[in-house]
């Protein structure tokens, strides 16, 4: 049967969710290890790092950790409406996870060289790729109610897509501003998780959808 007739054909979503949670858990762990391993494995009598370097590393780590949390929450909310999957959906999600897995690398580069244009741009491109493929994954699922319930509120879908597209705007702005001042770019990257942590209109529609 088709989605329009009351059911959604396709593959199950349990293993996709399990893989996604595993990747996010591993990446969040690696982010923390990247801060501590250099000191654990370094010489016993190595010089203490400058306090500003330590503070910068911790702040960049916190930024990436919170940003990953925003991605995970967005993915989790999206999967509440996704009922089944198919090959295209799974591979879009896999590419999304590929770029999630690169975040420890770009975070480490940014932490060691926080105000250099090349590292700020690399970090922004990494965020942009994650945002674009998360959008494409859920856009594909909701296209013509392909992998979601036929009765899912169309306004909820529209608001969800619009809200997700704001994410790439922050990253593109950060990348472009880096050519003028990398410090302002970091501000754009910080604003992204702050904006998405705060509830929006879609949250009110989601609550009404759950009541129904």
Q: pLDDT tens digits, residue range 116-134?
A: 999 999 999 999 999 999 9
Confidence (pLDDT) at 67 = 96
Per-residue pLDDT at 1 exceeds 50:
no
Per-residue pLDDT at 28 exceeds 70:
yes
Contacts of 20 by beta carbon, 8 Å cutoff, 6+ apart: 75, 93, 97
Q: In 70-139, at which residue ranges do the beta strands (DSSP E only) sit?
A: none
Domain count, the chain: 1
Find tokens 């392909």 and name the residue: 146
pTM equals: 0.86
Q: Structural domain of residue 139, as residue ranges?
A: 3-211
37 is written with which tokens? Answer: 């391993």
When pLDDT is averaged across residues 193-205 and rounded to a whole number, the result is 74
CA 191 from chain centre, in angstroms, equals: 14
27 is written with which tokens? Answer: 């990446």
């Amino acid at each position: 049967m088709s989605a329009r007739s009351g059911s959604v054909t396709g593959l199950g979503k349990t293993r996709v969710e399990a893989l996604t949670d595993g990747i996010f858990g591993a990446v969040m762990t690696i982010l923390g290890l990247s801060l501590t391993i250099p000191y654990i494995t370094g010489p016993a009598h190595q010089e203490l790092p400058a306090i500003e370097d330590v503070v910068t590393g911790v702040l960049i780590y916190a930024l990436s950790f919170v940003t990953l949390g925003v991605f995970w929450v967005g993915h989790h909310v999206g999967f509440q409406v996704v009922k089944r999957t198919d090959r295209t959906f799974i591979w879009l999600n896999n590419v999304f996870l590929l770029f999630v897995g690169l975040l420890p690398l770009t975070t480490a580069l940014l932490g060691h060289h926080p105000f250099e244009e090349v590292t700020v741009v690399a970090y922004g491109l990494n965020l942009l790729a994650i945002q674009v493929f998360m959008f494409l994954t859920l856009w594909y699922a909701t296209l013509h109610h392909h992998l979601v319930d036929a009765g899912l509120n169309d306004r909820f879908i529209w608001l969800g897509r619009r809200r997700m597209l704001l994410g790439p705007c922050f990253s593109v702005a950060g990348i472009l501003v880096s050519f003028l001042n990398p410090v302002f770019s970091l501000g754009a990257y910080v604003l992204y998780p702050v904006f998405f942590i705060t509830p929006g209109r879609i949250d009110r529609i989601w609550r009404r959808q759950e009541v129904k």
